Copies of this chain bind each other. A is one copy, B any other.
Amino acid sequence: MTYENDSRERLIECAKKEFLEKGFAKASLRSISSAAGLTTGAVYFFFKDKNGLLGAIVDEPLANIYAVLKQHYSDEAEEDFSVYKHVEGDHDELADLLIPKLYADHDAIMILLDKSAGSKYENVVDDIISMTDSYYIRLAEHYAAAVPDKRVNEYMLHWFSHVQINAFVHLITHISDEQTALREIKPVMDMLVDCWMKYILIDK
């Protein structure tokens, strides 16, 4: 009765492979399901549709990422810039929280961040960047308020959000081992924080 027929799992596993190789748009349900020893109809028994199948792969990892991000963005909002002085490693918290989530299901995250074009998740990275952006705008305004004769360099700020997020995407797509990832990302984060403090404000 409960001896598992793992068709659903097989479908998910084969879908992962296919999505990873071809990207969502070019992936074929026929090819996925036949790789799983099933017919396309089976996909529609287990999932709503092609997007649903992708969802089964990425929804949970995605939720985890959002959770970490939201937490981080509200924590850091407390920063007091009048006294703040960056010390190497003090922003590792985000990386420390995020990396485990990103590497818990490495393939899923790769698909989500890099192979989801054509799916309902295709704007995920952009959305996260937007979120980051909003947060950084608030932060930068606080910062500017504490420093006379300076104003925010808006373009630089946007670009920073972009680089910050894509640093993680780059990590995922180039480093497959979690420990290595953790080690490599630290100097990157340090650099980013340093630069943020240094370049985000310009003369009025």
Chain A residues engaging chain B, CB cutoff 8 angstroms? 23, 25-26, 117-118, 153, 155-156, 158-159, 162-163, 166-167, 170, 174-175, 184, 187-188, 191, 194-195, 198-199, 202
The interface residues of chain B lying within 8 Å CB-to-CB of A202 are 187
Dominant SS among interface residues on chain A: helix
User: Smallest CB-CB separation from A163: which chain B residue?
Assistant: B163
Residue numbers in B under 8 Å from A199 (CB-CB): 187, 191
CA distance A118 to B25 in the complex (A): 10
Which residue of B has the minimal Cβ distance to A158? B174
**Other A-B pairs, 8, CB within 8 Å; known A23-B117, A156-B188:** A25-B25, A156-B187, A158-B174, A159-B170, A159-B188, A166-B166, A187-B202, A191-B195
